[in-house]
Amino acid sequence: MKSIVCVCLLLGLLINISAQVSSTKAGSDTVIIKLIDTAAFKTVRLEEVIVTGKKPTVNFKLDRQVYKSAQFLTASAGNAIDLVKNLPAITINGQGEIAFRGSNSFLVLINGKPTQGDPSFVMGQISASSIENIELITNPNASFDADGKTGAINIVTKTAVQDGWMLQANLMAGAPPVHEYNNARDPQRFGMDISTGFRKKTWELSAGLSYLRNDIAGQREGDVYTIINNIKTSFPSFGERSFKRYNYNGRFNLNYQPNTKNLFSIGLYRGVKYQSRWANLNYRNKKTNMITGANSNFNYYNENDQQKEGVFSLASLDYVHDYANKSKISLGLLYEKADLSGTTYNNNLLFLGSKDTLQYTVNPNTNPLNAYRAKVDYSKKLEKASFQMGYQFRYDTQHGNFPYLVKQLGTSNFVSDPQFSSTVKTVNNIHAAYLQYGAAANLLNYNLGLRLEHSNRILELSKNNQSQKQILTNLFPTLQFKYTLTNKTSLKTGYSRRIKRTNNYELNPIPEREHSETLEQGDASLLPELIGTFELGVEHSFNSGNFFATLYHQTVKNPIQRVNKIFNDTILNRIFTNAGNAQQIGLETNLTLKLTNWWNSVVGGNIYQYHIYGSIFNGAIPVDSKSWVYSINATESFTLPKNWSMQLSVNYLSQRVTAQGEDSRFLTPSLAIKKATADKRWNFQLQCLYLDAGILGSNQQRITTYGSDFYSTTNYLYETDQIQFSIGFNLLKKNRKIALPSSEMGEKEF
């Protein structure tokens, strides 16, 4: 284990500033050059004088790390998920689930606006090329929502940085699959996006459109058995597991600042995400009497198509007023709507192509989310301190309808099965008030915050007309300290308390047919997770890069686990349940290093031990599971002659123990080669994603669970060596005119 820690500490990342310049504006790459002659001079007007340089890949702030998205070429033709998976402590597993410090519970913000939807759903709709920065906030202050087990990820989109306008566009096309997966449909990959921004005096406008079709081929092989009354039923399977998926979205933001005291902002966002997952499998069932040894066999073919669609809408209205005494008041309104729907078609046949149906079920569902929030915030700057206070009201509803339809064999009719059909409606009211105080005392900067939340959740179930009410009042303190040892080294520490709330899928107690061998089921009595996290870290900058390391300890009350038990001889019941308590201790680290003039290295890692203990199924089964997990995200960038560049990235997630089994390691290397024109307005890029060459075992993962009376293992093999081509155009025009002194006498003499 010591060697693993050393790897995470020593492997590194780089971004070096290729031109160190003094900027007229924080975060700007533009330099104004003044030319002065001691002789008599006149003024000439130039359109622009620009020196372009590279910004650091990561910037440190008291409460967050800020990563510049443009540095990750291998993600440029994808979405926000493809970007964040390159950051330390972020992992993506074989099922496409995003984890932040090992948890899939975190808050997602778009330009500082919180969202309530599933993180992978929200980020999967945002094109990578429209993103300026990604901010990882592991210890949010009291002004943030308390939601999210491990903190927050803020996605900052591009806009015009100075007076004038900007335009950026990209086209992407994917090559046919390199490998054969014997799938019934061939994957298609193509996309486009365009972003524009305009700033002029009191107005600032930004907008964007994008479309991405990103299918993936693949296979699935599994082996399952159950034991009931000394009868062992095994049903191994093999077949296609492929995805058809696309998303498109549009965004619009308008700022109006009539004077230095007032600012009005309107933001609109709308995105659509669609996915069709085919799991068409051949099953070979075998029943064995464990006493007599007698056995029988039965084979069948299962066609399973799970379709999901989501339409995500976000609208915000904000007003900020600055007072003369260095204080300001902010008012904000936010509306979020997520129309979630889907249908699972599960058809069991005697064999592929057979018209003899054994069972045909259809599970249509709708699960729309509507969320409203209003916020008022007051802040004041003191001589060496700042004070902030505010109130926020949240109201959200989610009304899910989950019918289960079974075809009557020999007819074209479907009838509802009440055993598996249900409606689930949840209503949440959350009142929150917070105080935040920050100050700088010599070499010490600190923030102290306290948030009080009172939540009221009403859950209504169609089964037996159940209705449950849950009222919770919680305090969420936050502490942040940063001590500057030298001008290049700082120490940081902090503590925060957070909450992971439940959703409709986790609460729905009616089993839902996922595919032939699985039913998913929630628990209406689930309690939210309560999390406390302590951090201690160091940040250091040096001439050729920078480094940070953060040690963290997390305690979790009521951890929510997804576990299995037998439903019948050929179906496992996958259930959400609380499982006592959990602890996690880990080390997150990141290194940027300039190895040569042309080689920049960016390497981040996370290693942690997760320990869960208690019981599941209302105390019926004890749980005491502990394991070490580590991940490494590395990006190696090479600047080549004549505006060529190359980048290799590797994302690795180790094997890890779960409450009832283990998940295998997951590896995804990718390569990008880019050529830019002399004026940097055009670029041409080749990407090879999930590099494998038949030897690395990339983009595949085995998931295994077991108990005293069942065993299940499934290996997911997804398409490797995906090749994509893209063309990008970037036009930045500044209308700002720069007045420079010029020698009048010198010109005449010349």
452 CA to centre of own chain:
27
**Residues near 248 by Cβ (< 8 Å), separated by ≥ 6?**
209, 210, 211, 212, 271, 272
The type of residue at 376 is V
pLDDT tens digits, 535-563: 999 999 988 899 999 999 999 999 888 88
Cβ-in-10-Å burial (0-12, 13-18, 19+) of 19 comes to exposed
- Which residues fall within 8 angstroms of residue 568, CB to CB, at 6 or more apart? 226, 228
In eight-state DSSP terms, residue 528 is: P
Strands (E), 412-466: 414-416, 422-441, 444-461
Question: SS3 of 111, please?
Answer: coil
Q: Tell me whether strands 489-500 and 467-484 are parallel, antiparallel or unpaired.
A: antiparallel
Tell whether 649 is covered by a domain.
Answer: yes
Q: What is the pTM of this model?
A: 0.84
DSSP string covering 638-692: EEETTTEEEEEEEEEE--EE-SSEEE--EEEEEEEEEEE-TTSSEEEEEEEES--
- Compute the distance between CA of residue 86 and CA of residue 75 in angstroms, rounded to an integer: 9
List CB contacts of 410: < 8 A, sequence separation 6 or more: none
Cα-to-chain-centroid distance, residue 730: 26
Q: Which two tokens stand for residue 182?
A: 């014997």
Q: Residue for token digits 């524009």? A: 196
Q: The tokens 């964040």 sit on which residue?
A: 84
Task: Please give the helix or strand (H or E) that residue 233 lies within, else none.
Answer: strand 231-234
3-state SS of 340-360? EEEEEEEEEECCCCCCCEEEE
Residue 512 falls inside a structural domain: yes
Backbone φ, ψ for residue 124 (5° rounding): -70, -10
CA 588 to CA 65: how far, in whole Å? 12
DSSP 356-398: -EEEEEEEEEE--EEEEEEEEEEEEE-SSEEEEEEEEEEEEEE
Residue 201 in domain: no
Tokens of 415: 């009838």
Task: Give the separation between CA 187 and CA 182, rounded to whole angstroms.
Answer: 12
- Pair of tokens at residue 119: 């993180």
95: left (phi over 0), alpha (psi -120 to 50) or beta: alpha
* Residue 687 included in any domain: yes
* Paired tokens of 160: 């015009």
CA distance 80 to 98: 11
Angstrom distance (rounded) from CA 593 to CA 603 = 9
What's the full length of the chain, in residues?
750
Q: CA–CA distance from 124 to each of 7, 98, 174 (Å)?
A: 31, 11, 18
Domain annotation covers residue 469: no
Q: What is the DSSP letter of 216?
A: B
**Residue 180 bridge partners (DSSP):** none
Selection from 492, 587, 585, 594 nearest residue 543 by Cα = 594
Helix (H) or strand (E) holding 506: helix 504-507
State the alpha helices, DSSP H only, in 111-158: 119-123
d(CA 52, CA 369): 44
Among 24, 195, 272, which Cα is nearest to 730's?
Answer: 195
CB 373 within 8 A of CB 115: no
Q: What's the token pair of residue 356?
A: 């003899």
**What local confidence, expressed as pLDDT, does residue 546 receive?**
92
Give the whole-angstrom CA distance, residue 14 versus residue 19: 15
pLDDT of residue 668: 94
Q: Is residue 23 packed enough to be buried (19+ CB in 10 Å), middle (13-18) or exposed (0-12)?
A: middle
- Greatest Cα pair distance, the chain, in angstroms, is 113
Let me know the angle formed at the C-alpha of 723 by 191 and 86, rounded to the nearest 5 degrees.
80
321 C-beta neighbours (distance < 10 Å), count: 12
Checking phi first, is residue 229 left (phi over 0); if not, alpha (psi -120 to 50) or beta? left
Domain count, the chain: 1
- Domain of residue 292 covers 2-184+206-217+228-460+474-749
Residue 166: what pLDDT? 83
CB neighbours of residue 43 within 10 Å: 9
> Using CA atoms, how far apart are residues 356 and 415, in angstroms rounded to an integer?
19
**Residue 750 DSSP label:** -
Whole-number Å distance between alpha carbons of 686 and 629: 33
| CB distance 488 to 540 below 8 Å | yes
The CATH number that applies at residue 159 is 2.40.170.20
For strand 385-402 and strand 644-653, is the pairing parallel, antiparallel, or unpaired?
unpaired
Could you identify the residue written with the tokens 């390199």? 178
In a domain, 177, yes or no: yes
Distance CA(478)–CA(114), nearest Å, equals: 18
Instruction: Please compute Rg for the chain using Cα positions.
Output: 28
Classify residue 191: in a domain, yes or no: no
pLDDT less than 70: residues of the chain: 1-57, 160-162, 732-750
- Helix or strand (DSSP H, E) at 247: strand 237-259
pLDDT single digits (tens) 14-46: 223 233 333 333 333 333 333 333 333 344 444
Q: Which of 212, 193, 205, 38 is nearest to 130 (CA)?
A: 193
Domain-located, residue 404: yes
Residues 6+ apart with CB under 8 A from 383: none
Cβ-defined contacts of 110-113 (< 8 Å, 24+): 110/154, 110/155, 110/157, 110/269, 110/314, 111/154, 111/155, 111/156, 111/157, 111/253, 111/267, 112/154, 113/267, 113/314, 113/316, 113/334
- HEC readout, 150-215: CCEEEEEECCCCCCEEEEEEEEEEECCCCCCCCCCCCCCEEEEEEEEEEEECCEEEEEEEEEEEEC
Please count the CA atoms within 13 angstroms of the CA of 303 that sit on its side-chain side: 18
User: Is residue 554 within 8 Å of residue 531, measured between CB atoms?
Assistant: yes
Structure tokens, 205: 């406008």
Other CB atoms closer than 10 Å to residue 17's CB: what's the count? 11
